[in-house]
Amino acid sequence: MEKRFQLKENGTTVSREVVAGLTTFFAMAYAIFVIPSTLVQAGTPDNPLPYGGVFLAVILSSAAATLIMGLYANVPYALAPGIGLSSFLVFTVCGTLGFSWQEAFAMVFLCGLINLFITITNIRKAILLAIPQELQIAIGGGIGVFIAYVGIKNAGFLTFTMSPGTYELLDGNAVGNGSAVPALATLGNPETLLALTGFVLLTVFLLRKFRAAILLAILVTTALSILAGITNVPELSFTRGILQSLGELKQTFLVAFGPKGLGALFSDAGRLPTVIMTVFAFSLSDIFDTIGMFLGTGRQSGIFSDEEMERLQTQDKNHGGGRTKLEKALFADACGTLAGSVLGCSNVTTYLESTAGIGAGGRTGLTSVVTGGLFLSCIVLSPLVGLVPAQATAPVLIMVGIMMLSSFNKIDWADLSTAIPAFFAAIFMALCYNISYGIATAFIFYCMTKVVLGQARDVSGVLWICSGLFVLNFVLMAL
């Protein structure tokens, strides 16, 4: 165990890593149920996407990618199909653009190939190294704000008011304009009170330095949820539906490579520009979401130390010492998307909820191995996993976000040339509810400020290219 994960070197123990793995799992277990429910909407009455097949594909791809992250990269990150990318696949790729779910999975596979290629050829590393330190710091703080906002939203602490005529229904969802006004939710709601109680418990446990404080808060809040009748204990049947799901997995497994997948995707030359644009959108979001996660959480927690980053930079010159942990983590993330497309689901990406386990003390791949093993157990234990409500994990995200805000101390907010791009990397990221958009706008305004100050030569060519690609992506979205 010590030889595999270097526990002493990373200042951790087996018990701490196990607790961190449990914490990460409970924080992101909702994905096992949310993602299949989202993806099946990509099907049609004539071409349904089977729920059971997608359910197993989500579990198996999440487990495989998380285990690769733990065993190969030795870092405490967990992966699963991304909710944002899954929604993009369903409502934009299949809904608006009219592609079948088989063709959409084929595009996910192409995205995975691109991500793997740019990782192996060190293009992804070049992008990461081109990000100025002040933006790296701002991204770290921005991830904290984003995580805290996700937690506040999941806890039900906010309501949004939209006046008549300022919103429209799109695919069953109300989409409003900038006139939507957030406000504090009424505390008479049982779910909101439960989340508030969970946050108070977590605060007390952390301040009193309880062992496994985060996991303990999740378990106590879940128990209170059951006692209060907020969470209903289902009838536990661990074998019902498994055989049916295995049968349905045959309908999604390798479908991306079949005649309805890649075969149909390129059968119409007129659709080729749309296919290229869609794969580009998939890849751009996936790449920068992951880079933002690793920069934002890995540097501050010490998982990717300053020595690691220095080694990353010097490897281009001496090619010695093998791959760094960060390079291995990027490789594992790219493999995850390929695994998802092969099994039959959307892009598998590194989850923000990994920060819950990191906050609980996870520092090595053992955390990910525990989480990956728990994913596999969900094939038969999904009724138990479903007992943990969002109100039990939301306080953890809020607290982790609070912990990450310390990086803002390192930003010179009095210097506008630093503050403007840092604002977009930090605050705008959360307001847009999208990591990639925060990074994109930060890159663009960083380049703009350098041009205005006559310092355009200080911007690396990689950053210019990335900024140009982001501008192109925004133009394509507008069209």
Give pLDDT tens digits for 111-153: 999 989 988 887 877 887 788 888 888 887 887 888 788 889 8
Q: Say if residue 368's pLDDT is above 60.
A: yes
Q: What is the distance between the alpha carbons of residues 476 and 471, in angstroms, rounded to a whole number?
A: 9
Q: Determine the pLDDT at residue 382.
A: 63
Q: Which two tokens stand for residue 113?
A: 């190939």
pTM of the model: 0.78
Q: Which of 43-47, 427-431, 447-451 has the lowest mean pLDDT?
A: 427-431
Give pLDDT tens digits for 373-394: 999 988 887 666 667 788 888 8
Angle, to 10 degrees, between the axis of helix 51-68 and the axis of helix 242-252? 80
What is the CA 356 to chain-centroid distance, rounded? Answer: 13
Q: What angle do CA 372, 374, 377 make, to 5 degrees?
A: 120
Dihedral, CA atoms, 21, 337, 60, 378, nearest 10 degrees? 40
- Pairing, β 158-161 against β 167-170: unpaired
| pLDDT > 90 in the chain, percent | 38
Helical H runs in 211-265?
213-227, 242-252, 262-265
Q: Say if residue 319's pLDDT is above 50.
A: no
Confidence class for position 233, pLDDT limits 50, 70, 90: low
Give pLDDT tens digits for 283-310: 877 888 888 778 777 766 678 766 776 7
Q: Determine the pLDDT at residue 299.
A: 66
Give pLDDT tens digits for 183-201: 888 888 899 999 999 999 9
Q: Say if residue 257's pLDDT is above 80.
A: yes
Q: Say if residue 35's pLDDT is above 90.
A: no
Q: Determine the pLDDT at residue 317.
A: 47
What is the CA 266 to chain-centroid distance, rounded? Answer: 30
